[in-house]
Structure 1
């Protein structure tokens, strides 16, 4: 039984056509399907039908996130363990969204909706027989894959306990109060990435950002150039994180949802000893070069 990786982020957007232009032409995702008020997209090196779902709404924010599990019968096992923990689980029928099989759905202690699934249509990446390093006709930033997301919530201790005890996530880094008595943020992983999901103290049910992977610092710089070239609202960067050691630039989609492109970082394993930052060093932890947070980074949530 095991969670493999972050599979899908479904985000609310207020103008689907405008958002599609942004995510396909500037970010460089590939449109794989449309159905009603939803559009389905993937990054070029992903094999599953989609990793990002845009749903038209009157407000921005995270509709749900979904992690892929290794086996179909993992859903039954996780359903039992989640309910034993005290969290209600609902079944999502096969076909509720395009190309997706059955899933289980539940609400985290932070109020976010999370799903686990195994079955999804595979469309491939076109690079399985004597391949070149990348396909032709890539657009925009052209990230190869969805990387992680950061959420806010009031009870970081409870959501961390659930994610580690029930879903077997591991802590890569944590932020604590100066006296060490309060947990302010946790960065959690299931893959060999510094984080697949993170939580930081703030209002419940809010999205801080979701991020895409880029291969290197030069691609992060190029992404920043593309943001300026296309008059996209920039948050901060290009710069470096202290947390995760990655390089980054943050920016906003047309609805105000924050995106990130991220490169680098270390490679943790299940026996990794967590790195700890104290609250008074949070500015340096998040923006290592600037050593301080801008107000927008803390307050702009959807």
Structure 2
């Protein structure tokens, strides 16, 4: 399929309670590469195989959580078109000037009914992955630092009115529904997984009474063996593990969930099937939600359902 419009998840800004403790976790344990710090004190990081300047921004705050999640779009014309489409749909937008984030052009920011801030942008400096663009090797020294994911993969966000959120992503931004979990009535969605690509999901939402909550930020690994290695590294560094290693029924991915020092949940993730926008969405029923989330255990733990930041 031709990739146009919204290309992929581009960045997330997370709030941490202790900045240097957060940097140690994301840089030295997770294995992201620090690429800069700005005048406001924010720290910028990227996965080793990402080309753009950053995908994770850390900001010290009194409360953990997420400030915004951003998607990269194809070009300036696409950014302008999607901004107009959002406004025509009744979504209020604002322009964030170039340079507000390091090495990043203008961004279009808008709030969604779940209480989250979403951004679109098209310009970000290409800093590469440590290899030349001519005759590169398959990996670098950075790929062996910590858990060393290859990219920021997706976010799972908790909040109300997820059916309205789904409509914005599908009707305006060109995403499509890949999987969903329905509640006991068999009709109302408890959760939706949405894609703008061939991935099983680029963003997901779970219905939750409190708006603007982060369930997890996910980072992609290359293999199940890398997921198991991640578990070793987490244990060696006394990282608080939520659950795993295990498999999802939904998306079929293999996974570990754990917490950063501030209590933000993160995921190290591998696999998941390739998807296409013409496929019929997969539905999971209420009585099988445990199997959908944790395929091996077939039950949910209460912490996974209730702990968000």
TM-score, normalised by the number of residues in structure 2: 0.96
Which of these residues, 97, 100, 113, is aligned with residue 109 of structure 1?
113
The aligned residue for residue 136 of structure 2 is: 131
Q: CA deviation at 1:177?
A: 2.0
Report the CA distance between 1:130 and its aligned residue: 1.9
> In the alignment, which residue of structure 2 is the partner of 1:48?
52
Aligned to 1:154: 160
Distance 1:256 1:51 in 2: 19
| Helix, strand or coil at the partner of 1:255 | coil
Match of 2:178 among 168, 172, 177: 172
Tell me if 1:186 matches 2:192. Answer: yes
Aligned ranges 1:240-255 → 2 under 5 Å: 240-255=247-262
1:1-302 to 2 correspondences below 5 Å: 2-35=5-38, 36-127=40-131, 128-137=133-142, 138-202=144-208, 203-302=210-309
**Aligned-partner Cα distance in 1 for 2:272–2:95:** 36
Partner secondary structure for residue 296 of structure 2 = coil
**Structure 1 CA distance, aligned partners of 2:252 and 2:53?**
31
2-structure distance, mates of 1:181, 1:212: 31
Q: What is the SS of the residue equivalent to 2:102?
A: coil
Deviations 1:193-212 (A, max 9, x none): 11000001112110000000
Offset, 1:299: 1.0
Classify the secondary structure of the residue corresponding to 1:245. coil
Q: CA deviation at 1:37?
A: 1.9
C-alpha displacement of 1:180: 2.1
Point out the more displaced range, 282-291 or 269-278.
269-278
Structure-1 separation of matches of 2:84 and 2:74: 17
CA distance in 1, matches of 2:257, 2:239: 11
State the SS of the aligned residue for 1:244. Answer: coil
Once residues 108 and 3 of structure 1 are traced to their aligned partners in structure 2, the CA distance between those partners, rounded to angstroms, is: 17
1:279 is displaced (CA, Å) by: 1.6
In structure 2, distance between residues paired with 1:191 and 1:57: 33
| Aligned length, in residue pairs | 302
Q: Residue 305 of structure 2: SS of its match in structure 1? A: helix
The alpha-carbon deviation at position 129 of structure 1 amounts to 2.4
Report the secondary structure of 1:157's partner residue.
Answer: helix
Counterpart Cα distance in 1 of 2:286 and 2:11: 31
Does the aligned pair in 1 maintain the 2:33–2:45 contact within 8 Å? yes
Cα displacement (A) at 1:189: 0.5
Offset of 1:133 from its aligned partner?
1.3
| Superimposed CA distance per residue, residues 101-128 of structure 1 (whole angstroms, 9 cap, x where no aligned partner) | 0011100111100110001111011332
Q: Deviation per CA, 1:122-143, whole angstroms, max 9, x where unpaired? A: 1011332222211024310000
